[in-house]
Amino acid sequence: MNRVTFYLGGARYQVKQGDLTAEPAEGIVNAANSRMVMGGGVAAAIRRKAGASLEEEARKHAPVPAGRVVVTGGGQLPARYVLHAVSVDDHGHSSAELVRQATRNVLGEAERLGLASLAFPALGCGVGGLTIPEAATVMLEESLRHTATSSSLRTLTFVLWSETDFGDFLAVAEPLLGQLTAKAFRNPLPTVDIIIEKEAGVVLVKRKNYPPGWAIPGGFVDYGESLEEAAVREAREETGLAVTHLEQFHTYSRPGRDPRFHTIATVFVGRAEGHLCAGDDAGEIGVFSEQQLPRPLAFDHLSILTDYFTWCRAGRPGSGFFTEKEATKIL
């Protein structure tokens, strides 16, 4: 599945192709009408997944003025809340200004609820008549305005169903967010990697995104998140495994280790439980011994794994596994 991520201050922006109803965000946004009838498009997909009771809950608030937002529970969705944003007028038409108002009100409601993550469809498109680029422009502008100040929101995801719509949205997002990202991050970026130990070897994932190759599970540290918390989260998101034990191994900071930008990676060694399952960013996943490491390995991960296996053969000097709960006590 296509996904591109941008990091701006304390917020992570994601543009992805996928199913909005499957998003693990705390809240998802419904492109609603004033009657709160969930008869077609994104609304119908949400109703099918969440259950009919969600529509019944929303319709208790109807009619809802254009641009306003109604909050309901998430029903059977992964999300805790659905934020129903009225992004068309009484005639079913939308406009850039209406989508701007709806987006602003959604973000305000998300803040009131204390949400850390929120997923949007492209508001005002389809029957509303706006193009994807028109919607993307105003939605991103309002989102950037909101997260520029202190905000509970750490992850905003814009989910497009088709590859064409994903490409059109990204064509707006990339120059806008990419330019701001370059300005926001002049210092090295903190990242984590976690070497997950299994009986047959270590867990590696085959990346879908640039740079290609096999890699140790890991990623960027979110704002307000400890290194240990980031390692546990990345392990869960990329492998489906729940970390039970964790220890810090080494830090790697050589400029050029990541071809995209300068990163400082804190590498952990961990043990985990659960069923191995590749996340959205991984094309494949597997467990490999030192003698069977796949090629190519992305970043400087061959060097990291060489250091790790050397450390293991030396008897793991300084090792002292601790649980996730114990790890947080050192902060």
Catalytic (active-site) positions = 284
- Taking the C-alpha atoms of residue 324 and residue 235, their distance in angstroms, rounded to an integer, is 12
Q: Are 285 and 276 in contact, with CB atoms under 8 Å apart?
A: yes
Q: Where are the alpha helices (H) located in the chain, listed in sequence order?
A: 41-50, 52-59, 96-113, 132-147, 163-184, 227-239, 301-313, 324-328
Rg (CA), the chain: 22
Query: Of the candidates 178, 207, 227, 215, which has an alpha carbon nearest to the alpha carbon of residue 327?
Result: 227
Query: Of the candidates 249, 203, 205, 260, which has an alpha carbon nearest to the alpha carbon of residue 227?
Result: 249
Helix, strand, or coil (residue 243): strand
- DSSP track, 62-88: -S--TT-EEEEE-TTSSSSEEEEEE-S
Other Cβ atoms less than 10 A from the Cβ of 57: the count is: 18
- Taking the C-alpha atoms of residue 172 and residue 50, their distance in angstroms, rounded to an integer, is 31
Contacts of 48 (CB under 8 A, 6+ apart): 21
- Taking the C-alpha atoms of residue 164 and residue 146, their distance in angstroms, rounded to an integer, is 28
- Taking the C-alpha atoms of residue 260 and residue 204, their distance in angstroms, rounded to an integer, is 20
Kindly report the CA angle at 84 between 82 and 87, in degrees rounded to 5? 145
Cross-strand pairs, 14: 5, 157
Which amino acid makes up residue 171? A
- Taking the C-alpha atoms of residue 251 and residue 102, their distance in angstroms, rounded to an integer, is 44
